[in-house]
Structure 1
Amino acid sequence: MKSILITNANIVNEGQISLGDVLVRDGLIFVAGGDLSEHEADIHIDAKGKYLLPGIIDDQVHFREPGLTHKADIKTESRAAVAGGITSYMEMPNTVPQSTTIELLEEKYKIASQTSLANYSFYLGATNDNLDELLKVDPQNVCGIKVFQGSSTGNMLVDNLETLEKIFEKSPILIATHSENDDIIRANFVKYQQEFGEDIPIKYHPLIRSAEACYDASKKVVDLARKHGTKLHILHISTAKEVSLFDNTIPLEEKRITAEACVHHLWFTDEDYDEKGTLIKWNPAVKSAADRDEILKGVLDNRIDVIATDHAPHTKEEKANKYANAPSGGPLVQHSLVAMLEMYHQKKISLEAIVQKMCHHPAILFEVEKRGYIRPSFHADLVLVDLDNPWEVTAENVLSKCGWSPFEGQTFKSRVTHTIVSGHLAYENGIFHEEKMGERLKFSRK
């Protein structure tokens, strides 16, 4: 593997920004900080004026493989992720077939080992009847167990309360939940269907998948986790009320109950439905400006622990359907970091906080082995960004297989110029180097 020397970088790491160099050898960070210009390396990157961050760890993506590869696949979406500065991802089980057994899970790992430019891990999916399979999971080799409380594809809605209790009581590993109350959602849908028939306006999406539905489900799993001492991570918080469920009085290393905010819930509001329509239809729904602002406040005061994407592509044709038939989700991995950097330019969040929430905290929360920091002996996952190199998102420069983005027409001030994955220069000024694939994430758990 080629050695890499990065010089003159503004290094953003562990709450500080410092000018210095980083030397990478054999896939690891050999030395970090200070003047390393006397060292030789196969690749030299002069980072003068740019900012060097640890690689982003995205704890929630849907790359659609196997079975839904007309929308996306591991190869295309991992390339988009790397172009966006994401060096590691954790992917969801609602594919076809669903990843609800160890055998099916390992088939996805095999695909990723051959095609994923980024580092990878995959959740094992819970159902109402696969508890025995969940208990087989190796905590050092799998990121977590995914529980859908809100409706998902196939048999992945865990709506049996006795089963949910047992999963929380016996899980050997972190449980990540999609928390929405399906009964409340169904009742709301019937109400608006009676009023509008089959042509419900998209602006009613956050009233159908309501704040009440989110809070009720989140509160239920928080209570279960407290009862059983379960390590619980609630994904994509979308309401101000939910933020109140989480604690910021103890260090993340000691938390048993944690939360994630997604870029779209920090960026869009219900005022954007008129322009964006179903392109910003997500579950849980984008809600009010007050919800968005409280979620950001929760990120900044550490009630919410990480920022991720819930990257979930669908084709333009699928999204063009009327509200009830248009699927929820959209592509975000290519633009999540630059969107957060735009919020830095807007003085809403610091560079140090972005790195904390997108790099350090996912590594701590999931106990990822030797990633998420710029430290000697850690895996060399690094991203170099130019904070003053504007570009506009267009359909032509979207790298996800679906070919569109909710950010089309947006000009971002910042640009990812280089991404290093496990010591390999995988992306350089628009060019991918695919001689080496990413690595399977390992977890430092007992």
Structure 2
Amino acid sequence: MGRLVVGARGCAKGGAMSADLEDVRHLLWGRSGGKDPVFRSWSQGFSFSPHEPTALVQLEGGPCAVLAAVQAFILRSILCQRDSLDWRRVDPDGVDQLLIDAVTHIVCQAVDDLSDRAYVLVELPTQGEGIEAYVGPDFFHEELRVLPLETRAEVRHFFATHVSALRGTYGVLLLLYSLLASRGPANLLLEVNDPSEPLIDPEHGYGGQSLINLMLTGRAVSNVWDGDRHIDGMLLRGIERQSEVGFLTVMERARHCEVGACLKSPRQPVWLLASETHLTVLFSAESRLAGDWAPTEQARRVFRQFDADGGGFVPRALLPDVLAALGMTADGDFTDVLCEQLDPDGCGVVLESAFLRELCPPSEPLPSSFILYHYNGLSGSAPDGKVVYRVAQAFLEDEQDARSYEERPPVDILGCLQTKWPAIRLRWLAGAPPSLN
């Protein structure tokens, strides 16, 4: 092969590994550069369960940040085709198309908000179409090549002609390197809280929150709250827009973090569920559980941007700013009347509950009962070793009649879901509840 040739927009093609890919390697693995056994655990392809045609199988612990996210976007594609696709009986060609759709979306959304970058696809040409043998981190990185592309159609065509590489030993890593190279090391360094902390834990091999967010939203921010925050003089970046698929975590149930509406209320009823050590996926065919934000959700999100302490209220003096952020009139007469309605006792604060009740019409009510499906890609976590979707009947109670939040289990699936639906109850239709781990 020839030496390095500088291609479009600073990318490299042909020859030796580009400087961008060297930076990507450092961002992913830190000083270790990716060493066994962690690198070996990430050397997996996208393979599907023989017992559930659209469910990915995770061979070892580690790469669930990629595999669960790709699974979530496969399910997103399924739900977008729900009227024309029997998703429990998809043939192999249909499964390939779902995988191609998912990885194309993941890579492209990382570039779509950038004006000066190409899509950058990473390949391992010396291994040919079928990448089966494990060759180790040094050989892998020495042989990587990049291909700059200009359009989403070109990206999809690339993945369509490299399906066997996606399914081969390095499929997960080739997608991951393509994603980071497309976003660009300079952008990634601006997004993460701590640039010295690798995206993959060098000791335990799990993907950090920045990597999870990059997979879900195209931005490697380190926090799951809505928008950016200034804390102790530091700019900490959060999620800036409603995601296609969502994210819930037991860490919020334990009060260790705050998941904002951008991730908690996605456009499609698909959520990654995070335990302390693993990622699984929850989804439903019930469209009323998700969708474009209703006025109430949008108003709540804007209100909380001005609720700096998370106390459920804002100072009365900030009400004109809240209204302006919602695109509503904030002239003096209207604001004065509204303030009298929202703060009749003259306490100087506006409560979130009163604000939403006054300004937002009731949205379409959630169903009182619906079906949920849970996916865990680790066969060792399945009671019979078979990776399949587990089914539950969900019930939403009146929150005033529900038991105390503090009495509920904190670290199982139910405790995770109660961070979004505090009054939810589950009845699993076969066997014990599935594991989050």
TM-score higher than 0.5 here? no
Which structure carries more helix by proportion? 2
Q: Which has the higher contact order (CA 8 A, sep 6+)?
A: 1
Q: Between Structure 1 and Structure 2, whose CA radius of gyration is higher?
A: 2
TM-score using structure 1 length: 0.28
Which structure carries more strand by proportion? 1
